[in-house]
Amino acid sequence: MHLSILHGLAILATALTATSAIAQADSLGESRNRVAVHTDWSVFEESSPTRHCWSVAQPKETVNTRDGRVVSVRRGRILLYISFIPDENVNGGVSFESGYPFRDGEVVKVDIDGQSFSLPLTVGELAWTNSDEDDRKLVEALKRGNEAVVVGVSSRGTTTKDTFSLLGITAAIEDAKNRCSG
């Protein structure tokens, strides 16, 4: 199987577990799987069925447009993840959960303080990078940045623009990485 597909499947498994853990959270965002908070980013850890740790944040701002006009739409969870899955050799995998199914063939764009990246692999509501090298470059930019703007298009043609604060991301990434090393 192609490396990017395996990479994506591992990220998909983490995102599904993360979504389940976050769904168990109460109004204060507490969950039995959340182990730390670093400003705008949380760290989660799971040991079963495989050990994995992740940093995750919700957007600070969301704008949905169709035909150039702002529209109100219903979306599920909107999350940006950095995942560590030792058994799958995922060491800082970046993924995005949009809260809607993507348009077929959609390439999600990520802008970090004017630097452009993409999440070209999409399945359902999830998008991720093409390779470990792409993850590494994106994670380094996230650590240096102030905010990340993620833009995608839904299967209904709605363009979404989600802005994530990067305050605390470096500490959250290092925390998740350390929890899943060794």
Domain range list for the chain: 3-179
Q: Summarize the confidence of residues 166-178 as an average pLDDT.
A: 97
**Angle between helix 169-179 and 132-144 (nearest 10):** 140
pLDDT value, residue 32: 67
CB 27 within 8 A of CB 21: no
153 pLDDT above the threshold of 90: yes
What does the mean pLDDT of the chain come to?
87
pLDDT value, residue 21: 44
CB 12 within 8 A of CB 122: no
pLDDT value, residue 144: 97
Q: What's the rounded Cα separation, in Å, for the pair 104 and 6?
A: 20
Q: What's the rounded Cα separation, in Å, for the pair 173 and 53?
A: 9
Residue 20: which residues within 8 A CB-CB, separation 6 or more?
A: none
Structure tokens at 182: 């060794």
CATH ID of 3-179, from 3.60.21.10, 3.30.70.260, 2.60.40.1880, 2.40.50.140? 2.60.40.1880
How buried is 103 (Cβ within 10 angstroms: 0-12 exposed, 13-18 middle, 19+ buried)?
middle
Share above pLDDT 70 across residues of the chain, in percent, rounded to a whole number:
82
pLDDT value, residue 2: 43
Q: Which residues of 38-50 are buried (b: 16+ CB within 10 A; e: fewer)?
A: bebbbbbbbeeee
CB 135 within 8 A of CB 20: no
How many helices, marked H, and strands, marked E, lie in the chain? Answer: 3, 13
Residue 28: which residues within 8 A CB-CB, separation 6 or more?
A: none
What pTM does this model have? 0.85
Q: Summarize the confidence of residues 111-137 as an average pLDDT.
A: 96
